[in-house]
Amino acid sequence: MQKVIKSTDLNKDLSYILSQLSYDRLFVLMDENTDRLCYPFIAQNDLVMQAPKVVIKAGDNNKNLEQLSVIWKFLSENGATRHSLLINLGGGMLTDIGGFAAATFKRGIKCINIPTTLLGAVDAAVGGKTGINFDGLKNEIGAFAPAETVLIDSIFFRSLDHPNLLSGYAEMIKHGLIDSEKEWKATLSFDTEEIDYDRLKQLVVDSVGVKERIVEIDPFERGIRKALNLGHTIGHAFESLSYEIGKPIQHGYAVAWGIVCELYLSQVFCNFPKEKLYKTVYFIKDNYEGFCFDCDHYERLYEYMKHDKKNESDTVNFTFLSDVGKIEINQTADKEAIFDSIDFLRESVGL
């Protein structure tokens, strides 16, 4: 079972983790941004100091075969063996591709994740999903391969710009919705303009706990873990379309808009309470700015949804809610209802 450590002393905790793992060689994977902004926080660690650094291009559009090959080649040329250990230092893109590189190099080496973004901490770094984008589709190639440990330290969140912080916060809204009234209300009451970082740290700890509990019950997404897909079926379609039309949006923004659509469908098909729908919509409208698309893109969005790997037939598979904390997995909606949900998004949020 993957171990998640909420750090209060980054280098002390990292040294402890490394002392508990057996490995022959240590490597550190970063992208161009985390090499510059985040590596200095661990650079003075005696073991990290001696570890070769693998640096790849930043950005989700670089979560691809080309950069995966860069990692494989570096490990191979620098003497990595099946007993080596890889530290993934970065956001969701980095822990996704780094985890997949570790899972596949020499049929699998150990890795640990140190997420440097809010999105990485509450979502990508925890739970064992790894992968890359392929042929224009999000996370099309990948594997379930949990890191040995995930080390979360809020020291990195203070350097995030506002859009990156909000991108991660969308996953926390999702966790609140699928967990409980208490968690949901806590996420919607947080002031994202005047940020209280101590309160944010506690919200992150609680949010990660929601995902941990679900993953522990269902590590391979055969049942209740599908709850974590709330907002993602339509959200991933928005994200893929944004790259296709050259107006890329952040993952969390796409998920926030996907949550609006899928809560609308939850209300239509599972009687999700309207007042809770609108309370969530108002928070998202206030915090997540628009993405320019129009009715001409609906069919393309639907095609992306049909290609989502969560589908088991020609229908589009969803996770809906009948109330906050009441999860309805393996739901479907027809094209007309999906298009209605996108209309609702555009009318209510103003996209």
pLDDT digits (tens, 9 = 90+) for 13-41: 999 999 999 999 999 999 999 999 999 99
Whether 51 and 93 share a structural domain: yes
Q: Which residue has the tokens 């590189």?
A: 101
Q: Is the Cβ–Cβ distance between 120 and 95 less than 8 Å?
A: yes
> Do 10 and 80 fall within a single domain?
yes
* 8 A C-beta contact, residue 108 and residue 145: yes
First to last CA, the chain: 41
CA angle, 228 then 231 then 234, to 5° = 130
Same domain as 105, residue 209: no
Q: Which of 104, 128, 159 is the last residue of a domain?
A: 159
Q: Per-residue pLDDT tens for 162-192?
A: 999 999 999 999 999 999 999 999 999 999 9
Q: pLDDT for 261-300, tens place per residue?
A: 999 999 999 999 999 999 999 999 999 988 888 889 999 9
Closest among 50, 48, 53, 100 to 74, alpha carbons compared: 53
Does 194 share its domain with 339? yes
Domain boundary among 100, 124, 159: 159
Domain with 96 in it: 3-159
pLDDT digits (tens, 9 = 90+) for 189-227: 999 999 998 899 889 989 999 998 999 899 888 899 999
The helix-helix angle for 65-77 and 92-104 (nearest 10°) equals: 60
State the CATH number of the domain containing residue 115.
Answer: 3.40.50.1970
Q: What pLDDT, on the 0 to 100 scale, is given for residue 309? A: 57
In a shared domain, residues 123 and 205:
no
The 10s digit of each residue's pLDDT in 148-157 is 999 999 899 8
pTM, two decimals, is 0.85
| CATH number of the domain encompassing residue 312 | 1.20.1090.10
Rounded distance between C-alpha atoms, residue 292 and residue 87, angstroms? 37
At which of 139, 159, 179 does a domain end? 159
The mean predicted confidence, pLDDT, of the chain is 93
The per-residue pLDDT for range 100-125, each reduced to its tens digit, is: 999 999 999 999 999 999 999 998 77
Distance CA 153, CA 86 (A): 18
